[in-house]
Amino acid sequence: MPRALSRQDVSDFRVRVGAAAAALYAEGGEGAISMREIARAVGASPMGLYRYFRDRDAIIAYLRTDAFNRFSSRLEQAFTSGRDPFARARAVGRAYLDFALENPADYRLMFDLSQPDDAGDAALAAAAGRAAHTVTRHVDDLVAAGIVKGDPENIGRALWAAAHGAIVLYLAGRLPGKADVRTLYFDTMRLAFRGARTPSTNITAIRKRRKP
């Protein structure tokens, strides 16, 4: 009869399983994650894993939840470092790029994969919602300050789409050999942000550039 497991036992082993699954994903993508290979990596039987996770999808959801939460923590820390709306937006943008470049497998886990039961997994749904809020909330400050005009949610999603597109091109190896991902990213964000600026702000900026 299997011994009774404490909460700490369960938590510690789930972390080990998650680390093994993450390593498999980083090496071979989603298809490399199997109960058999995870069990081999942690020195357990495949059936033994079911004491800790419902199935393979539950392990992937666990990985994605952890990635979303670490991503959000990074951006939340960046947000609090800014003293004004511009500084917060720049800090969040830099943190977004840095996380993606430092953790490409986690970035793919978060945004390349979707699961049929995303909404049914409370922890994953909460983590994904936290991330979506964290990525775009600085736009509320920009709108409140009159720097950009429009629906903060729509503007936030548009800026997010621009950031994501630049990063996906890089991670997919679609940039020309000499292209620098950081330059592309910040140029992309600058152009996208310029389109959201209030008309008066845009006119002022243009006039300043035209001065001899």
Token couple for 199: 């008309």
Q: Which domain covers residue 185, as residue numbers?
A: 61-210
Indicate whether 37 and 118 sit together in one domain.
Answer: no
Indicate whether 25 and 71 sit together in one domain.
Answer: no
Low-confidence stretches of the chain (pLDDT beneath 50) = 201-203, 206-207, 209-210, 212
pTM of the model: 0.87
Which residue spans within the chain are E strands per DSSP?
none
3-state secondary structure string across 85-144: HHHHHHHHHHHHHHHHHHCHHHHHHHHCCCCCCCCCCHHHHHHHHHHHHHHHCHHHHHHH
Within 10 Å of residue 178's Cβ, how many Cβ atoms? Answer: 5
- Output the pLDDT for position 204: 54
Indicate whether 49 and 66 sit together in one domain.
Answer: no
Domain boundary (14, 32, 53) is at: 53
Cβ atoms of 136 and 153 closer than 8 Å = yes
- Output the pLDDT for position 178: 83
Domain boundary (53, 73, 88) is at: 53
pLDDT digits (tens, 9 = 90+) for 58-102: 999 999 999 999 999 999 999 999 899 999 999 999 999 999 999
Indicate whether 125 and 169 sit together in one domain.
Answer: yes
Angle at CA of residue 101, ends 25 and 168, nearest 5°: 75
- In this structure, what CATH number is given to the domain that contains residue 2? 1.10.10.60
Partner residues linked to 148 by β-bridges: 197
H/E stretch holding 10 reads helix 7-28
Domain count, the chain: 2
Indicate whether 46 and 73 sit together in one domain.
Answer: no
Half-sphere exposure of 94 (CA within 13 A, CB side): 11
- In this structure, what CATH number is given to the domain that contains residue 204? 1.10.357.10
Alpha carbon distance 212, 209 (integer Å): 8
Residues ≥6 apart with Cβ < 8 Å to 35 = 46, 49, 55, 56
Indicate whether 124 and 29 sit together in one domain.
Answer: no
Token couple for 175: 């940039």
pLDDT digits (tens, 9 = 90+) for 133-144: 999 999 999 999
